[in-house]
Structure 1
Amino acid sequence: MSSLITEAVSARFEMVGAVPKEQDLYAGDGAEFYDRLVGSDRAEIREMLALARGVEGPILDIGAGSGRLTIPLLRSGRRVTALDLSDDMLSRLRRAVPDHPMLECVVGDMRDFTLGRRFDLVIIGATSITLLDRVGRSRFYANVRRHLAAGGVLAMTVAGGGSAASLSMSTDRVVAIPGPDGEEIYLFSQQMEAGGAERLVNWVRVADLAEGSEATVLTSRLRVLGHDTLARELIEAGFAAPVISPVRTTGRDEILLLTTTWARTSDAGGRDASD
């Protein structure tokens, strides 16, 4: 397996004489860090709750993680299935709302899942669609189609405007992240690959970078996607042209929400969800 460590982070390790230890951003210690990184982010919640008020049936939250969107939906009285590839992330959700009668957690791949039922609303937030390559996105669309109720809604988010532009440039900077004993300083490194179509993302706690030490590098590979690309793919997959609207955020991040329904009336809802 090829390394997911950026050249800048590799150079930093060599400079201080430390040894890197790769760790997926969404598993193990990465799950705890990711929760600290995004847990307080309220973006998308208002919009997803508004969509939930427009449907009556169950909701599927894909890439649910530790429940940043799932928990507000549960608290609004909705029945939610939370699907995530990382059981470590879902474990944090289970601990946050133990034995909740309206919650089902499923460890599964968003590219290949069978839940045996349909949903009135399927959401994938936090721009998590960028975790998938083109083949993976095609499989994702097909899985959503099989699980979407007649007239059901698919909603996803992607970076827009200046935020999208910032995701298209290699960068290295230090960032203060909330920790159990106050803020911790991390080195954030983003390296563009595949001609600018992908980005490697690394996070390293600066305090761990010491001579002779083994320091964890949290890694992820993400695709650089715009709303126009996703809209075209959705239409090609048989969905209606998505409605694209801005997500209200408290910071300078720009996020776009795409909402759509299944458009091919001759195959409404796709094959049976239990297939």
Structure 2
Amino acid sequence: MTTATAPAPGTDAGPLAARRIAGLGARARLCGLYDTLGAPLYQDLATYDDPETRALLAGVRTAPGPVLDLAAGAGRFTLPLLAGGREVTALDLSADMLGLLRAELAKAPAPMRSRCTVVQADMSAFDLGRRFPHVLLGTTSLSLLDADGRAGLYRSVLAHLADGGRFQLTALERGDDGPDETAARVTGTSGTAYELYEHWPAGATSRSVTLLPADPPADGGPVTVCTDRVGVIGLDVLEAELAAAGLTVLTRSLLTPPGERHRVTLLTTEATR
């Protein structure tokens, strides 16, 4: 995908996360959230039962047909769709994330595996040679693209939407007046506890996320520290871009309750007639 030039992992962490990393000294093994070291940690925190996932899956149920899951990663949307009987094309640029998806598919029943096509490609410029009634893109993925990358994404989506097809995507905005940086202890599906930091000043054009195990090895071994900075795209900017690209917003659904730090809005769009 087309992104802005990324700094070295860990260098753009917020003040709290930076102090935590400094405290680890030479033990800190810095990486991004989607690379070989970071992808398993990121996947461990993936949830398959949250408002965004439920809303996107409900939207797909409105009509039959195959689904194109963009920035599919390790299968947060792909796996439940397959379990529900859908044919899914899962597209992602990260070989590491797709490796995790393939590992999950290897454990699935053969009929479920047979309905999934895994494609390593750039979501801002792809050509699959077919059209889909449903195209999905989850929250943070759009924020990984710069303006040129997003324009390419919209062109690619339009080229792959079937007549009357729907492109569903979610937008993430800062939704409260809380602190610039938060720190939380969270537990992954494996039972592993993590420290999760987010540095997101009000009005900022980007936010940084840092993830590391909450209980480093007692033997003094290395500690994997994942940090990434992603852009922030306001809902008004996003809707203007979609309209300019030839995509009409049909519905807007706020998926998070008032007062939440993360304000997630689901947009359902179609090609402008």
Q: Same fold (TM over 0.5)?
A: yes
Following superposition, the deviation at residue 165 of structure 1 comes to 2.7
Map of 1:226 onto structure 2: 234
Relative distance call for 1:91 and 1:198 in structure 2 (3 A) is: same
Q: Does 1:119 align with 2:132?
A: yes
The alignment's TM-score, normalised by the length of structure 2, stands at 0.82
Alignment partner, residue 21 of structure 2? 13
The one-letter code sitting in structure 2 at the alignment partner of 1:121 is: H
Displacement after TM superposition at 1:124 (Å): 0.4
Distance in 1 (alpha carbons) for counterparts of 2:200 and 2:9: 10
Which amino acid is the alignment partner of residue 7 of structure 2? S
Does residue 177 (structure 1) correspond to residue 187 (structure 2)? The answer is yes
Q: 2:8 corresponds to which residue?
A: 3
One-letter code aligned to 1:165: G
Is this contact kept in 1: 2:172–2:232, CA < 8 A?
no
Are the structure 2 counterparts of residues 16 and 86 from structure 1 closer, same or farther at C-alpha, using a change threshold of 3 Å? closer
Unpaired runs of 5+ residues, structure 1, are 266-275
Name the structure 2 match of 1:136: 149
Q: 1:29 Cα shift?
A: 2.8
Amino acid at match of 1:45: T
Runs of at least 4 residues off by over 6 Å? 209-212
Note the C-alpha offset of 1:109.
1.3
Alignment partners' CA distance in 2, 1:144 and 1:80: 15
Task: Give the letter aligned to residue 151 of structure 1.
Answer: G
User: How far, CA to CA, are the matches of 1:198 and 1:80 in structure 2?
Assistant: 31
Residue 238 of structure 1 and its aligned partner are, at CA, apart by: 1.0
Aligned partner of residue 155 in structure 1, secondary structure = strand
2-side partners of 1:16 and 1:102: how far apart? 45
The sequence identity of aligned pairs, in percent, is 36
For structure 2, list consecutive stretches of 5 or more residues without a partner in the other structure: 1-5
TM-score relative to the length of structure 1: 0.81
Q: Aligned to 1:148, which of 161, 168, 173?
A: 161
Moved more, 112-121 or 39-48: 39-48
State the 1:56 CA deviation.
Answer: 3.0
- In the aligned structure 2, how far is the partner of 1:256 from the partner of 1:75? 25
Q: 1:269 maps to what in 2?
A: none
Alignment partner of 1:197 is 2:202: no
Residue 90 of structure 2: SS of its match in structure 1? Answer: strand
- Give the direction of change, closer, same or farther, for the CA distance of 1:89–1:144 in structure 2 (3 Å limit): same
- Give the match for residue 71 of structure 2: 63
Q: Is the 8 A contact 2:73 2:94 kept in 1?
A: yes
C-alpha separation between the residues in 2 aligned to 1:167 and 1:85?
34
Mapped partners of 1:51, 1:245: distance in 2:
11
